[in-house]
């Protein structure tokens, strides 16, 4: 099986129903067959050492400015100029460093000077640091550069709060018991992931987005907003110590799960059309990822009977690893999508010349 897959230029993760075949939905058969026959050398692979290789390099202010001057009529590149090279985000680590430094200074105000006025700031910055930094990473890797930072911030704020409103609406219909059993954990996963998914669909349709990286970014914006406001709310129930745990745990929870959903929505929609109710229930490329995120959320919330602290930590680590693996699979699919669409342009251009 392995040899056959390699001979065809495929990878075993293609069996997870990723890839860019959905881009052939509105192409004629000749172009579709031409693109399907793309050699294995045109596959884009993700190498973590390369992806994060720019983090420790020196970067100028102009380089940072160029990251944010995107998404307008004059700064969105044409498809031919979009890069399909491996993505190398770096600015998100600077965002995290600033937020972490801010949180540390607020801790000094509270614990060294005894100023209670630092607590609201600690709650907000502590909840914001990891999710917002991850959001900036996904903003950097949107190679199409067709979504502005203003759109991202609007989605982060409005989408995050709206997803919480939808979640609470579902909770009033399906009340959750206090005991965290596997059944309740599953119900929480279904409610919260479905709520975020509906809001992500709303924003993707509103912005008329069609690319995998676009879906990942919008999903991450909604998930990051959800994560920030939810974590801030938990402090009133469980105390300030909640911020220390949830801030680090958020590296593999709502922001990542919602980013997966965003990419899956794009995989499930027909290009240039809105994602509709029919797509929600009939597109396996989308639905399989929705089920996976629900499963990850369920596993995260479930208190395994007679489980120890080590069991809980391993449980969370497993969820984080699976979530990030799916993110890298979608990044790979997104880069191959660029090459597919650019190949489509080349084929069309050659056909025009012949005629």
Top-confidence residue, 1 or 119: 119
Report if residue 10 sits inside a domain.
no
- What backbone phi and psi angles, to 5 degrees, belong to 72? -100, 175
Q: What pLDDT digit, counting tens, does each position of 313-323 carry?
A: 999 999 999 99
Residue 100, domain member (yes or no): yes
Task: Flag whether 151 is in a domain.
Answer: yes
Q: Cα–Cα distance between 200 and 223 in angstroms, integer?
A: 9
Q: Are 38 and 50 in contact (CB under 8 A)?
A: no
Least confident of 17-26, 86-95, 272-281, 343-352: 17-26
The residue with tokens 């000094």 is 108
At residue 318, the 3 state secondary structure works out as helix
pLDDT digits (tens, 9 = 90+) for 7-45: 444 443 443 444 444 443 444 444 444 444 444 344 445
**φ, ψ of residue 80 in degrees (nearest 5):** -65, -25
Total number of domains constituting the chain: 1
Q: 1 in a domain, yes or no?
A: no
Listed in sequence order, the DSSP H helices in the chain are: 2-7, 29-36, 48-51, 61-68, 91-111, 119-140, 149-154, 160-173, 182-207, 212-238, 241-249, 254-268, 277-282, 284-301, 309-354
Q: What is the span of the domain harbouring residue 53?
A: 17-354
Residue 67: inside a domain? yes
Determine, yes or no, domain membership for 122. yes
**Do 46 and 86 contact (CB within 8 A), yes or no?**
yes
Q: Is residue 4 part of a domain?
A: no
Whether 12 maps to a domain, the answer reads: no
- Take residue 10 and report the two structure tokens written for it: 């495929």
Residue 224 — pLDDT band, cuts 50, 70, 90?
A: very high
């Amino acid at each position: 099986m392995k040899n056959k897959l390699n001979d065809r230029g495929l990878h075993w993760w293609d069996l997870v129903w990723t890839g860019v075949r959905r881009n052939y939905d509105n192409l004629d058969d000749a172009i579709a067959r031409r693109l399907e026959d793309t050699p294995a050398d045109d596959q884009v692979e993700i190498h973590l050492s390369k992806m994060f290789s720019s983090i420790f390099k020196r970067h100028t202010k102009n380089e940072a400015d160029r990251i944010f001057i995107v998404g307008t009529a004059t700064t969105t590149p044409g498809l031919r100029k979009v890069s399909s090279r491996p993505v190398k985000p770096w600015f998100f680590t600077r965002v995290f460093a600033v937020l972490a430094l801010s949180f540390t200074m607020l801790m000094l105000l509270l614990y060294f000077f005894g100023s209670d006025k630092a607590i609201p700031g600690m709650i907000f910055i502590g909840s914001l640091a990891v999710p917002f930094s991850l959001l900036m990473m996904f903003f950097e890797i949107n190679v199409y550069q067709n979504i502005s930072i203003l759109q991202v911030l609007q989605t982060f704020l409005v989408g995050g709060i709206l997803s919480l409103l939808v979640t609470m609406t579902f909770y009033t219909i399906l009340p959750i018991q206090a005991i965290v059993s596997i059944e309740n954990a599953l119900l929480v996963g279904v409610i919260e992931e479905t709520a975020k998914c509906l809001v992500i669909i709303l924003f993707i349709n509103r912005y008329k987005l069609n690319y995998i990286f676009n879906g990942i970014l919008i999903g991450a914006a909604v998930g990051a907003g959800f994560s920030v406001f939810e974590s801030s709310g938990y402090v009133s129930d469980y105390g300030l110590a909640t911020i220390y745990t949830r801030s680090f745990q958020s590296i593999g929870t709502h922001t990542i799960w919602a980013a997966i959903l965003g990419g899956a929505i794009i995989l499930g929609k027909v290009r240039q059309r809105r994602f509709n109710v029919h797509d929600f229930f009939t597109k396996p490329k989308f639905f399989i990822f929705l089920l996976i995120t629900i499963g990850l959320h369920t596993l995260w919330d479930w208190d395994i009977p007679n489980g120890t602290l080590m069991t809980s930590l391993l449980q969370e680590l497993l969820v984080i690893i699976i979530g990030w693996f799916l993110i890298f699979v979608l990044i790979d699919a997104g880069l191959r999508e660029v090459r597919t669409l650019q190949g489509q342009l080349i084929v069309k251009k050659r056909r025009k010349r012949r005629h």
